[in-house]
Structure 1
């Protein structure tokens, strides 16, 4: 047969085997052409034969025609995987309350592997998040425990998470510990199934029932088998303050985050109608962890980036033994042009992952030996690496400290290896990261009142508000054109356009302002009013700071304004920018005042998070405007 095929025929045969026809049309487009409900039915059941048999009718003469006028009624079926329901990123408590108007279940987001369990009599099947069979060594033991947990459950489909737990403390163990070899290193650990949903039970499909009802059915029919089959930990929440406390608690425990589910939501396969809360999602990424690390090595990329250095080994200097430690490997954050430029700028030596060629200055485990190493680490660039959180990973040599989901957020042309994050500084950042988990926000009702007070008292507060001395804010010179701020990475609109970043940066006045002896009555009344609303003392972070926040800053604007005003700052409109101390410069605002500081949104969020006015040098925005060089 192959001899009769053309080259194109053979290509299509190979693509059929690989399940990738490369016709730029996925199942959604093709199935909807057959029947309007066909793709939704396919998502529900993943049974293509069942979908097509109901979507297409065979006529007497052997032809087939679609039944587009008849709605397809296809639901979940045993032993056929259901596309799992997913969650979108939740960036604030306020957003969560808006998306869950009926109240919510706040559920621990376990750092394990998603598993869909199917039981039909004594037969079991386990499917991963991508609907592939789960490796047997991770789930085979559940055959003995699921019948104990569900004594009356003949047929069922469970949505769950599988991970290792310490049997002495009951604490979940890190992601990735389920591997065959890694699992053996945990002597007092069991593989445990944390069940958080039931979508089929004894012949009844539960997809259309609200999550509160599904949870009730689950709790009525399941008995926990300690450290083997457990309920996911949840809490019913209706008040924003309770959600804030829950997030803070989870982050302090070092857990990944929370999943939030509206109490009346149904199970919608493939839809992102749940919410997930993680440290790096909150408040424009202000709670994400970052460090200024040095490029120590690189690996070849794959696919379109094959043959070039596109994955980089980042590390820090250990002054104790005068060697360099590895912290993380990063492959996101650079655009194609920057990557092309780095191929010439980075002075590397090719060692092809050979352990014998690793230089003496580099402390590196076998799994982290790169294709290239730096010729001289002290001459290599410094990059700001931002991630979901600082974590500990045995493959890295910086006291095991690493960064989860790392990305390059800024090329630090203003720093050298001497001013980059050292190992002692990294340890301090790691410690502070685990301690600083407060996510409390002023209430929405309080914000409205604060704005009213600000409007009516603006004249008094603008003339007699106290000043607060702050550190030098000289704009760093030579900022890279590929500067990326953590607060605007990913899908967020960049604050600085490429045209603006090509222009020269501004220098600003180093002089601070002095504290006045007394607060104005208007400022004091405004702060007391905020205290009454949120029932907690507020720090004077922004006292004496005036801010222009341009109209183009839309995302998280209300939260920024709430914090800024509640913490003693004064918002000005663009017509008052000549009097401002700090300006968020986004391109549609120009400034003729030499003393104005042009900073990124990250400066605001970091000042809020750390409850202290941040030195503005590292947050400078390249810009050009009237009166500026």
Structure 2
């Protein structure tokens, strides 16, 4: 590191810049020289010594600059964020990939697009183009740049960080010109060596042979543990400048994200040993999103396992979000602050069931049709200013019971049962398999909470951790992706497919994409497999894809190469479950797939078919656990029985899940002939009438049912669009009708002709019929319509036209065409929040009787938009003058907002309607009684 001179008056910086003083004096070239030296050095200990010398020199220079000033925020952080780029939370969205960098380099260097160097950059993964650096874009770029760049760049560490921050910020704001300008500034002011390391920082893979743990340990012995607690790299560097000062207590604090405690993988026959023969807890392992909830007074924040914040979805206060308004009153009145650890689940209120990953739900999103977020809490780490992590689990659970009152479907507390033996664990796992749950958790009641560790007394037991429990799938490799790093120069990931059976019963000619795999095999196995297929790979042309392989429409990750199926090989795969996915042509893919073996004993055409996958998925709702675990004893000559484990087939394993099975129609008596001569295929039904019940109705009324549609099928009936329905829609040969239509016919005992509102999908022939009889909104030219049908027509009109106009534009249209006659757009520009939602302090009451309910209907009649969330667009809050208990709370919220809202009573609404215009709100703002403060 360059010697740091004493600062003169011209070098003094204001307080805003003091945190980057040293970084603005150290050249980026020096940091790159350090990385180059570490990269070339063999042995972890030697690498760490080189890094330690650099950090020690930095600390000495820091001391010289600041003369022992303990209050400075200047630290090693500017360099650390470049040494560990993957931990920099502020730079999650560069928006820069190797292909974009290649094009920018070609532009800056004025290379011809067909020149050898341009081809190397654009095809850096291809062994022939990149030669010895295949898969390493930074290495390829260095050889292209080394004779075209200056020997040493001019930028400092501070300059580089500033440019990278600008790139991340402006990419998030979609300011592409600013992003491009900053990238070009970096590319034109660096040497080839610097650009090599800059590229690795941008793609967040340094590849110097030092792990994250090694870098942290060189900086401070407690650095990694402290980072795991707070997930804040800057805080680690600032508070751990002195390596001799140790941090003995984990500093968990409100609103500071940290990595939660994790479970160690285990199997049932290890439970007693790992729990040291003592009592342990068993809990259900739910298939949701790990989430930490921080609460302080009226404010909430939600952080994921990786430290990402999702407060905008779930709600920062009791007025907004899709969860906080419903759980705010569940906290006991004496809870001022707390941090909870739990799982965020999707809960279906009608069926009282939880969503799984197989259902392709993402509960972190604002809206999830049919499902509401439910927070399943299993630990508490902070309570009213007290850190609880050093308390044993059994004591923390007592605090948890004191903190919240559970409400079904919104916030629940995990239930545990005591266990002592391996058999208790095996029984619990078998029960979880029966219930189609992800697995179970085993917890030591005496365990303290240790963030980010898997060795703290928590064990996770899942069916896939037990050999022989999981179904295995044989799929065919149809595509490949070039590897990077140690896998460079060969295919490291593979696209696998399932066969579409040929109609003539011969070898399949078409394969649908099903999953992508990249783990489960050793480097030697991968090299051997690549050698076997090396002569058969063909470049994948996106414009002319092979006819024997079909990918999902819009699938972006096209393989780099493909294989003629007859030249390919089968791989045996294990996975946790089959889940729905629009990224693969089958409509499904695998969760956590890994290769078990490469099958040399099976011919290419003996892989699974699309129908096989569908059957397997339906057996257990997508879960691939195909057996039970049994623990038993076997005597030997040396002593008493030793515990053994074995896997047995599940005692009851239906070939088809109940909701998919055909109805038993053997005893059905016909009562009508309205469906005579018509064949129906029923996919699913509503909650009130199952698939089997609807099939029985069809037979009762003279029709016939089939499980798969054919040439004679009159129509397909479905209540909701599933993956199977989507696939049938894509075929575009069947009429797919809503289940409501069939039930209307049955109720009326009359065959009712379809209208457009009855259809989920319309065949080309029926489209032509509808075009003659109905307009584009579904309104009949010749028939009278019911109020329900009229409502559907209005909805169609809104979806196609009205939604394109905002409230202000609609108000202008009303004012233009109805300047005097119509008052029904009076409140068109108002977004109203009615104070009649949750009753504070009463978690069992969700709505209270209020005249505001009727007032809301009246205001909607006059054009107002009514909302149940106090979001940023609310213009008015209307309160019941009989209950002003939340008035001061609303006023506090209004003070925080840049866009203010009015607080009024019903009297303002009445005056507006009477006057025919929106009158001044201030005179109608309620005043709190003295006792309300």
Normalising by structure 2, report the TM-score: 0.43
- What CA distance in whole angstroms lies between the structure 2 residues aligned with 1:370 and 1:30? 36
Whether the 8 Å CA contact 1:177–1:183 is kept in 2: the answer is no
User: Secondary structure of 1:102's match?
Assistant: coil
Q: Which residue of 1 aligns with 2:307?
A: 131
Whether the 8 Å CA contact 2:360–2:581 is kept in 1: the answer is no
- What CA distance in whole angstroms lies between the structure 2 residues aligned with 1:112 and 1:293? 28
Q: Which residue of 2 aligns with 1:141?
A: 322
Match of 1:331 among 496, 509, 518: 518
Whether the 8 Å CA contact 1:309–1:343 is kept in 2: the answer is no
Q: Which residue of 2 aligns with 1:72?
A: 248
Q: Which residue of 1 aligns with 2:541?
A: 351
Q: Does 1:195 align with 2:377?
A: yes
Q: Does 1:98 align with 2:273?
A: yes
Q: Quickly say closer, same or farther: Cα 1:419–1:128, change in 2 above 3 A.
A: same
- What CA distance in whole angstroms lies between the structure 1 residues aligned with 2:533 and 2:452? 40
Q: Does 1:257 align with 2:257?
A: no
- What CA distance in whole angstroms lies between the structure 2 residues aligned with 1:183 and 1:246? 34
Give how far 1:310 is off.
2.6
Give how far 1:339 is off.
5.9
Give how far 1:121 is off.
1.8
Give how far 1:8 is off.
3.4
User: Secondary structure of 2:369's match?
Assistant: coil
Q: Which residue of 2 aligns with 1:276?
A: 460
Q: Which deviates more from structure 2 when the two are superposed, residues 191-200 or residues 419-428?
A: 419-428
Q: Which residue of 1 aligns with 2:698?
A: none
Q: Which deviates more from structure 2 when the two are superposed, residues 258-267 or residues 101-110?
A: 101-110
Give how far 1:50 is off.
7.3
Whether the 8 Å CA contact 1:51–1:74 is kept in 2: the answer is no
Superposed CA offset, 1:353-408 (max 9, x none): x5x6352653644337632564532332111122234444454444x453321122
Give how far 1:7 is off.
3.0
How does 1:317-396 map onto structure 2 within 5 Å? Answer: 317-319=499-501, 323-334=510-521, 335=523, 337-338=527-528, 340-341=530-531, 344-352=534-542, 357=545, 359=547, 362=550, 364-367=552-555, 370-372=558-560, 374=562, 376-396=564-584
- What CA distance in whole angstroms lies between the structure 1 residues aligned with 2:535 and 2:420? 54
Whether the 8 Å CA contact 2:463–2:625 is kept in 1: the answer is no
Give how far 1:423 is off.
3.8
Q: Which deviates more from structure 2 when the two are superposed, residues 158-167 or residues 316-325?
A: 316-325
Q: Which residue of 2 aligns with 1:518?
A: none
Q: Which residue of 2 aligns with 1:219?
A: 401
- What CA distance in whole angstroms lies between the structure 2 residues aligned with 1:142 and 1:53? 36
- The root-mean-square deviation of aligned C-alpha atoms, in Å, is 3.9
Whether the 8 Å CA contact 2:301–2:311 is kept in 1: the answer is no
- What CA distance in whole angstroms lies between the structure 1 residues aligned with 2:439 and 2:243? 49
User: Secondary structure of 2:255's match?
Assistant: coil
Give how far 1:82 is off.
3.3
Q: Quickly say closer, same or farther: Cα 1:302–1:41, change in 2 above 3 A.
A: closer
- What CA distance in whole angstroms lies between the structure 1 residues aligned with 2:469 and 2:229? 37
Q: Does 1:8 align with 2:190?
A: no
Question: Which runs of no fewer than 5 residues in structure 2 stay unpaired?
Answer: 1-22, 35-77, 86-200, 316-320, 652-933
Whether the 8 Å CA contact 1:166–1:172 is kept in 2: the answer is yes
Match of 1:237 among 419, 422, 435: 419
Q: Which residue of 2 aligns with 1:118?
A: 294
User: Secondary structure of 2:636's match?
Assistant: helix
User: Secondary structure of 1:338's match?
Assistant: helix
Whether the 8 Å CA contact 2:345–2:363 is kept in 1: the answer is no
- What CA distance in whole angstroms lies between the structure 1 residues aligned with 2:209 and 2:600? 41
- What CA distance in whole angstroms lies between the structure 2 residues aligned with 1:288 and 1:145? 39
Whether the 8 Å CA contact 2:381–2:387 is kept in 1: the answer is yes
- What CA distance in whole angstroms lies between the structure 2 residues aligned with 1:108 and 1:374? 43
User: Secondary structure of 1:421's match?
Assistant: coil
User: Secondary structure of 2:372's match?
Assistant: strand
Q: Does 1:161 align with 2:343?
A: yes
Question: Which runs of no fewer than 5 residues in structure 1 stay unpaired?
Answer: 57-63, 457-528, 531-557, 564-604, 613-629
Give how far 1:331 is off.
1.3
Superposed CA offset, 1:279-302 (max 9, x none): 1101xx222331221112233445
Q: Which residue of 1 aligns with 2:475?
A: 293
Match of 1:313 among 495, 520, 538: 495
Give how far 1:267 is off.
0.9
- Find the structure with the greater CA-based Rg: 2
Give how far 1:40 is off.
4.1
Give how far 1:311 is off.
2.1
Q: Quickly say closer, same or farther: Cα 1:51–1:358, change in 2 above 3 A.
A: closer
Whether the 8 Å CA contact 1:310–1:339 is kept in 2: the answer is no
Q: Quickly say closer, same or farther: Cα 1:6–1:239, change in 2 above 3 A.
A: closer
Whether the 8 Å CA contact 1:297–1:348 is kept in 2: the answer is no
Greater relative CO, 1 or 2 (CA 8 Å, sep 6+): 1
In the alignment of these two chains, the number of paired residues is 445
Q: Which residue of 1 aligns with 2:926?
A: none
Whether the 8 Å CA contact 1:148–1:225 is kept in 2: the answer is no
Give how far 1:38 is off.
5.8
Q: Quickly say closer, same or farther: Cα 1:193–1:8, change in 2 above 3 A.
A: same
Give how far 1:415 is off.
1.2
Give how far 1:51 is off.
7.0
Q: Quickly say closer, same or farther: Cα 1:380–1:122, change in 2 above 3 A.
A: same
Q: Tell me which protein shows more strand as a share of its residues.
A: 1
Normalising by structure 1, report the TM-score: 0.61
User: Secondary structure of 2:460's match?
Assistant: strand
Give how far 1:229 is off.
1.8
Q: Tell me which protein shows more helix as a share of its residues.
A: 2
Q: Which residue of 1 aligns with 2:597?
A: 410
